[in-house]
């Protein structure tokens, strides 16, 4: 049975209006965005969105001899095929030590996905772009559901990977994971994505256990002018982006944007999975160079969408097991401000604040969350050998849970506080050759109290083309709201006649659940044996303790409420900390440029995980073992064909998943992109993804979400205009 195509373009309009006061001495900018969202054939919702109803007013006196509103010329981004591999190694990163340093000398396993990588790959979302990072496990569990992790323990709520966007954490304290379908921005405005494999808790805090993903967007000054892009095709029904950047006054730059995407459903048991969805997002950014030593940034986003998907809902009457369609929606907004002050070339400080509000409906449950975060840091030199970075953070997150009989919380409304401080000292043992970095993060949370996460890193550069590094780190993953007090019902399949058998996972949560612990040992080597060839390898050994477990309690006989009591059996499951173990592996990547117009990238990842539970603990099984592939191989080719043509081809192999709760076979897949750019300001591209199979499985989430969903082949066209 084939899936039905949509009857028409999804009924959503985005209307925008922009105006500038014509007075020569005063500049007033105003942008209004109105969304009309129809439902069931009638216009039932009309929103004048406050976060997207952006009214930015700035009054300035003109500078003598210049027009204060004349936009600076938009620089053309460099084509990375025009940059040497040595230039790529000197790309500046900030995620390792929260200060600027070169990629080649960083004492950690890190990969940078650049703007040119994103453009040439043709990806349409941030999770897709992460497939280009060696060592990451990126899998689709549904049309909108991603499972992304580093160094094992993958899940649709991977709880050991911290994700940041421009310094704002998008890690949910409810499930200790990331809602990737809500994590978006204008991809053309992304400057780079820094992907750290391994602990980053010393500077970023709890939950940066197995990795950190830091998404960094360009300043408004770098995105002047107009960008219009859009397209559609198979699976990518329709997508569009409009972004405009301008100048409000001398050294005051801004950009505003709106984007929309509608994606088709995947395949479930040979039919449509019912998980088609759409999402709209708008936002703005303002950058003000107040003086040579002071900079101010203000930015915000608003998103709203309807998320399709079928859920497994229990029932005490036949048919008592099966997927049902329940409403799933997501709406949220955030605003962030950052002030940076430079005391000198060797000393600076920053102060950042953001507010984030989310309103989600998961089908069987919902959540409204408000988060306020304040972060400060200071960098300075102490003598000739010590560069110190230190800072503090305060976060308050309050939620209001929407419950039903299938999803309940012990405390439906909770406010959580997090207070932390960190210090890191980079010690120059031998100038330009040997550096030692020592640091620690001290953090207090409402669940487990005080947590200390130290690390030591050393980087040795015996030659400009060689870097050897090693690290020892401690990191913790603090409990989530769900692990402490959730109750979720679901049917077991097959049912045991004559009574329905329900699983309660966990029974009543576990208020004694504590932090998971990691002690990590890492070693790496980067070398450029030839100007056209670079190699990067990293090896690790991770020792885990007090990992999340699921313990089994005796089966209970219960009766449904009046007026017609129905007997049923309950199989209670409860979270615990009874698993320990280790994993180890290696990550290899290479970049080779045989010709000036041709670049090849390849990567290989090896991973082994061994877990064990405490004797007589009642642990159901080590379900996290086998949720990530043991082997991954990727190869990507990028070539300029001449006559303004670009050709990109990607191949990847992913080993099978062997977890007790999911059995996913290994697979090969291929992506391709052909683009024509007659000018710098126009591009026409055709992109194909998952080309080797009409549909295939990548990941299976055992709880709540759609099961056995298969990823479909996708082909779409895209047009991009800049002026």
Evaluated on CA atoms 410, 415, 418, 419, the torsion sign reads: negative
User: CA 579, 584, 589 angle in degrees (round to 5)?
Assistant: 145
Please answer whether residues 177 and 130 qualify as being in contact, where contact means their C-beta atoms are separated by less than 8 angstroms: no
3 state SS of 252: strand
Give residue-wise pLDDT tens across range 368-413: 999 999 999 999 999 999 999 999 999 999 999 887 767 778 888 8
The percent of the chain in helix, strand and coil, each rounded to the nearest 5, is: 5, 60, 35
Pick from 360, 284, 374: which is nearest to 51 by CA? 284
Q: Which region among 40-44, 81-85, 270-274, 547-551 has the lowest average model confidence (pLDDT)? A: 40-44
Half-sphere exposure of residue 235: CA atoms within 13 angstroms, side-chain side: 21
Q: Which region among 187-201, 443-457, 653-667 has the lowest average model confidence (pLDDT)? A: 653-667
Sheet of strand 709-712: strand arrangement: 271-272, 267-268, 709-712, 695-696
Give residue-wise pLDDT tens across range 552-584: 777 777 776 666 677 777 777 788 899 999 999
Burial letters 547-572, b for 16+ CB under 10 A, else e: bbbbbeeeeeeeeeeeeeeeebbbbb
3 state SS of 202: helix
What pLDDT is stored for residue 63 in this prediction? 35
Give residue-wise pLDDT tens across range 412-422: 889 999 999 99
Give residue-wise pLDDT tens across range 72-94: 444 454 555 666 777 777 788 88
Which of the listed ranges 34-48, 391-405, 633-647 does the model predict with the highest average pLDDT?
Answer: 633-647
What pLDDT is stored for residue 58 in this prediction? 33
Question: Where is 127: in which H helix or E strand?
Answer: helix 126-129
Average pLDDT, the chain: 84
What pLDDT is stored for residue 567 in this prediction? 72
Q: Between residues 20 and 211, which one has the greater pLDDT?
A: 211
Burial letters 465-504, b for 16+ CB under 10 A, else e: bebbbbbebbbbbbbbbbbbbbbbbbbeeebeeeebbbbb
Asked if residue 269 has pLDDT above 90, the reply is: no
How far lies 687's CA from each of 11, 233, 259, in Å?
25, 10, 19
Pick from 373, 501, 377, 304: which is nearest to 100 by CA? 377
**Residue 137 binned pLDDT confidence (cut-offs 50, 70, 90):** very high
Question: Where is 609: in which H helix or E strand?
Answer: strand 598-613
Please answer whether residues 389 and 362 qualify as being in contact, where contact means their C-beta atoms are separated by less than 8 angstroms: no
- Report the C-alpha dihedral over residues 182, 185, 191, 192, rounded to 10 degrees: 20
Asked if residue 9 has pLDDT above 90, the reply is: no
Asked if residue 314 has pLDDT above 80, the reply is: no
The pTM of the full predicted model, rounded to 2 decimals, is 0.87
- Determine the average pLDDT of the residues in 698-702: 81
**Residue 48 binned pLDDT confidence (cut-offs 50, 70, 90):** very low
Q: Which region among 101-110, 424-433, 649-658 has the lowest average model confidence (pLDDT)? A: 101-110
Half-sphere exposure of residue 459: CA atoms within 13 angstroms, side-chain side: 26
Provide CB contacts within 8 A for 411, sequence distance 6+. Answer: 485
Domains and CATH numbers, the chain: 13-722 (2.40.170.20)
Asked if residue 101 has pLDDT above 70, the reply is: yes
Rg, Å, the chain Cα set: 26
Q: Which region among 357-366, 500-509, 710-719 has the lowest average model confidence (pLDDT)? A: 500-509
What pLDDT is stored for residue 449 in this prediction? 94
What pLDDT is stored for residue 397 in this prediction? 95
- Determine the average pLDDT of the residues in 136-147: 92
- My answer on whether omega of the bond before 653 falls inside 30° of 0, hence cis, is no
- Determine the average pLDDT of the residues in 130-150: 94
What pLDDT is stored for residue 491 in this prediction? 58
């Amino acid at each position: 049975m084939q899936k039905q195509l949509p009857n028409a373009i999804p009924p959503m309009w985005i209307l925008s209006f922009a105006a500038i006061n014509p007075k020569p001495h005063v500049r007033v900018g105003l942008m209004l965005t109105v969304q009309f969202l129809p439902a069931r054939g009638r216009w039932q919702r009309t929103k004048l969105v406050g976060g997207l109803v952006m009214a930015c007013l700035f009054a300035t006196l003109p500078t003598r001899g210049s027009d204060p509103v004349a936009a600076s010329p938009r620089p053309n981004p460099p084509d990375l095929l025009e940059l040497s591999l040595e230039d790529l190694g000197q790309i500046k990163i900030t995620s390792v030590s929260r200060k600027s340093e070169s990629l080649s000398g960083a004492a950690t396993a890190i990969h940078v996905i650049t703007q040119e990588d994103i453009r040439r790959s043709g990806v349409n979302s941030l999770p897709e772009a992460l497939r280009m990072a060696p060592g990451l496990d990126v899998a689709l569990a549904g049309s909108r559901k991603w499972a992304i992790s580093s160094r094992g323990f993958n899940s649709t709520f991977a709880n050991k990977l911290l994700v940041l966007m421009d310094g704002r954490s998008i890690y949910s304290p409810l499930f200790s994971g990331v809602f990737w379908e809500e994590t978006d921005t204008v991809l053309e405005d992304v400057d780079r994505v820094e992907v750290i494999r391994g602990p980053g808790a010393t500077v970023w805090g709890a939950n940066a256990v197995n990795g950190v993903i830091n998404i960094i967007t360009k300043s408004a000054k770098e995105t002047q002018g107009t960008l219009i892009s859009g397209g559609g095709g198979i699976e990518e029904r329709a997508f569009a982006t409009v972004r405009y950047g301008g100048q409000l006054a001398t050294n005051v730059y801004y950009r505003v944007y709106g984007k929309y995407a509608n994606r088709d459903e995947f395949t479930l048991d040979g039919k449509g999975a019912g998980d088609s969805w759409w999402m709209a997002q708008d936002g703005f950014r303002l950058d003000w160079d107040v003086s040579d030593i002071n900079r101010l940034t203000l930015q915000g986003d608003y998103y709203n969408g309807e998320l399709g998907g079928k859920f497994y809902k229990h029932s005490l009457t036949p048919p008592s097991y099966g997927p049902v369609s329940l409403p799933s929606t997501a709406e949220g907004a955030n605003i962030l401000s950052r002030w940076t002050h430079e005391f000198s070339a060797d000393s600076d400080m920053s102060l950042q604040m953001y507010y984030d509000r989310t309103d989600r409906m998961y089908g069987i449950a919902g959540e409204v969350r408000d988060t306020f975060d304040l972060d400060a840091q200071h960098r300075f030199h102490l003598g000739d050998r010590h560069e110190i970075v230190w800072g503090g953070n305060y976060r308050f997150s309050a939620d209001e849970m929407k419950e039903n009989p299938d999803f309940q919380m012990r405390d439906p409304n909770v406010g959580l506080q997090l207070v932390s401080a960190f210090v890191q000292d980079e010690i120059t043992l031998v100038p330009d050759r040997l550096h030692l970095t020592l640091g620690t993060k001290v953090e207090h949370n409402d669940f487990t109290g005080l947590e200390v996460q130290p690390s030591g890193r050393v980087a040795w550069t015996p030659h400009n083309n060689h870097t050897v590094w090693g690290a020892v780190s401690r990191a913790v993953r603090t409990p989530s709201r769900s692990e402490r007090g959730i109750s979720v019902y679901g049917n077991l399949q097959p049912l045991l006649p004559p009574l329905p058998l329900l699983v309660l996972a966990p029974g009543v949560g576990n208020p004694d659940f504590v932090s998971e612990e990691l002690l990590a040992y890492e070693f790496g080597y980067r070398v450029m044996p030839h100007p056209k060839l670079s190699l990067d390898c990293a090896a690790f050994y991770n020792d885990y303790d007090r990992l999340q477990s699921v313990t089994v309690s005796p089966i209970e006989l219960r009766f449904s409420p009046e007026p017609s009591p129905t007997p049923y059996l309950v199989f209670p499951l409860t979270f615990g900390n009874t698993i320990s173990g280790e994993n180890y592996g290696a990550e290899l990547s290479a970049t080779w440029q045989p010709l000036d117009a041709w670049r090849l990238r390849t990567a290989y990842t090896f991973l082994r995980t061994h877990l064990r539970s405490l004797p007589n603990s009642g642990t159901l099984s080590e379900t996290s073992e086998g949720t990530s592939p043991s082997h991954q191989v990727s190869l990507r080719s990028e070539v300029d064909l001449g006559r303004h043509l670009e050709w990109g081809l990607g191949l990847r192999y992913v080993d099978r998943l062997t977890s007790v709760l999911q059995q996913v076979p290994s697979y090969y897949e291929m992506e391709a992109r052909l683009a024509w750019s007659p000018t710098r300001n126009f591009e026409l591209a055709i992109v194909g993804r998952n080309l080797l199979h009409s549909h295939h499985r990548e990941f299976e989430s055992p709880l709540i979400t759609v099961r056995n969903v298969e990823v479909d082949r996708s082909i779409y066209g895209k047009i991009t205009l800049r002026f």
